[in-house]
Amino acid sequence: MKASLPVPWHIRDEWAPLEAVMVGIGRGMGGVPSIEETYDPKSREHVLAGTYPTEEDVIRELDGLAELLDKEDVLVLRPDALGINQVFTRDIGIVIGNEFIMTHMVEDRRPEQQGLNTMLHRNPGRVLHPPATVRMEGGDVMPMNGRLWVGYSGPQDFEQFTTARTNAAALDWLQAEFPAWEVRGFELAKSDTDPRRNALHLDCCFSPLGLGHAIFHPAGLKHAEDVEFIRQHYPGGNRLEVTAEEMYHMHCNLFSVAPDVVVSGLGFNRVNAQLREWGYRVLELPYHETAKMEGLLRCTTLPLRRTP
């Protein structure tokens, strides 16, 4: 598998054994952005505090993830370097089944998708392009083995908040393109100013795991019925609910390498202890600097193939 290209796309869920993935790169992200160039409240907070991550630190963390996955016998691809910020590959594309979706994202970030060109040229599969009315980023879309769980914002929030990245039209488009899948939306809580009250994407407040467990921040969802749905789906001891402070530090943003193998952040003590108690092998990785840009492990990975 490691030496073979192209890589036939295949993603049915969030946890099947990972065979191929694209990991973001830090090279080219440049220096500290201006306030006007930030897209989320956590990045803005660190710009104002003078603690925004350096390119060198982000490169080190992303390369550390790539090396860890390589040791797990995963084929690791990297985007074509464009000399721009290409850290969060999750946002720019999605594989569902055997098809690749080129997402429709924040206008200023669309050039990042050119970094997919080499990978796309090596793969003959169908590439879907949503219409202009559909806005969608990969952090909001979770394949759940026949179901698609999608974080989104309603019309009023989508018009009001920069942090609203996926609109309600994405739900209808996904259902039309993937009629065999059941699409369910979860409206997210948004804030452009307070990162502890902002679920930037669904994967910032919810992480489904391969042995039937979940890490969850209930306040990341806007509606009580959606919170209750998650609680019923992952009852009692199968669910760990995290605080707003833990969500702020990205404790929900984990990445599964296999049903029983999870990459988590170094220092996520309560989460990692629970994962081990549930029976997972936990691969801890320092990712503190990347986290300052309101993304973590799932955000910096674009899975291309999991074992069918």
Mind listing the pLDDT tens digit for each residue in 63-90?
999 999 999 999 999 999 999 999 999 9
Q: What is the pLDDT of residue 16?
A: 98
**40 domain residue, yes or no:** yes
Give the count of domains, the chain.
1
Residues 104 and 128 sit within 8 Å (Cβ to Cβ): no
Number of C-beta neighbours around residue 3 at 10 A: 5
Q: Is the pLDDT of residue 3 over 60?
A: no
- pLDDT value at 2 more than 60: no
Nearest to 212 by CA among 259, 147, 276: 259
**pLDDT bracket for residue 39 (50, 70, 90):** confident
DSSP string, 73-92: T-EEE-PPP-SS-B--GGGG
The strand pair at 214-216 and 206-208 is best described as antiparallel
> Which residue is associated with the tokens 């973001």?
24
Give residues with Cβ within 8 angstroms of 161, minimum separation 6.
153, 190, 191, 192
The token pair at 113 is 């998708």
Q: 269 in a domain, yes or no?
A: yes
Please report, for the domain that includes residue 187, its CATH number. Answer: 3.75.10.10
In this prediction, residue 222 carries a pLDDT of 98
Q: Is residue 124 part of a domain?
A: yes
Among 3-7, 56-60, 123-127, 171-175, whose mean pLDDT is lowest?
3-7
Backbone phi, psi, residue 208, to 5°: -80, 145
pLDDT of residue 125: 84
Domain that includes residue 118, residue range: 18-306
Instruction: Say if 32 falls within a structural domain.
Output: yes
- 93 lies in a domain? yes
In a domain, 7, yes or no: no
Confidence of residue 49 (pLDDT cuts 50, 70, 90): very high
| Prediction pTM value | 0.95
Residues forming a β-bridge with 147 = 182
- Mean pLDDT across the chain: 95
Question: If we measure between CA atoms, which residue out of 35, 53, 55 comes closest to residue 44?
Answer: 35
Separation CA 216–CA 118 (nearest Å): 36
DSSP structural state of residue 154: -
| Coil vs helix vs strand at 14 | coil
pLDDT score recorded for residue 5: 61
Position 41 pLDDT exceeds 90 = yes
At 241 the pLDDT is 98
End-to-end CA distance of the chain: 14
Q: Is 4 helix (H, G, I), strand (E, B) or coil?
A: coil
Q: Pick from 27-36, 51-60, 120-129 the range whose average pLDDT is largest.
A: 51-60
194 DSSP 8-state letter: -
4 has pLDDT over 50: no
Q: Is residue 4 part of a domain?
A: no
Cβ density class 5-31: b for 16+ within 10 Å, e for less: eebebbbbbbbbbbbbbbbbbbbbbee
180 pLDDT higher than 90: yes
pLDDT tens digits for range 219-231: 999 999 999 999 9
Q: What is the pLDDT of residues 188-217, one digit of tens each?
A: 999 999 999 999 999 999 999 999 999 999
**What is the Cα–Cα distance from 247 to 241, expressed in whole angstroms?**
10
Q: Rounded CA gap, 177 and 195, in Å?
A: 33
Per-residue pLDDT for 6 more than 80? no
Residue 267 has pLDDT above 70, yes or no: yes
Residue 183: helix, strand or coil by DSSP? Answer: strand
